[in-house]
Structure 1
Amino acid sequence: MASSADRSPQHHTQKMKKRFQETITHLREDIGKVDEPQLKAMFETSAEVLTGLAKAFDDYEKKNEAAWRKH
């Protein structure tokens, strides 16, 4: 049976935001390790997309956007 923490939306959004940030950091670190410009661009673009996704999760937690508020 799921614990109360497992049922908490904030518990899950915080876990995902942490994973996004770990991946963002990894992608940006690897940009300096590769020589191919296209791969560098793909890593940076991926980091930016994940940054936006992390922001969406943060907005959900804070109910900053109308879409996340109960009507």
Structure 2
Amino acid sequence: MTAIRIAAVSGSLRASSINTALLRTIASGAPEGVTVELVSLGALPLFNPIWRRICPKPSRSCAQRLLPRTG
């Protein structure tokens, strides 16, 4: 059976966010074979068109967690 990986992203940065709490609850109750990883947007910089060529480290890190991995 193929393992299922789900990236859970909350749009809120508040520590007491109901949306983030819901995602944590979902992650803790995931069935066997399903991994739910909470991805924080808090470290991402604001949009800057110059960064299309030079990707800041927090953006690269987030993209690596969200993009499918092969091999």
Give TM class, smaller chain: 0.3 to 0.5
| Structure that is richer in helix per residue | 1
More strand by percentage: 2
Q: Structure 1 length as normaliser, TM-score?
A: 0.35
Which one has the largest radius of gyration?
Answer: 1
- State the TM-score, normalizing by the size of structure 2: 0.35
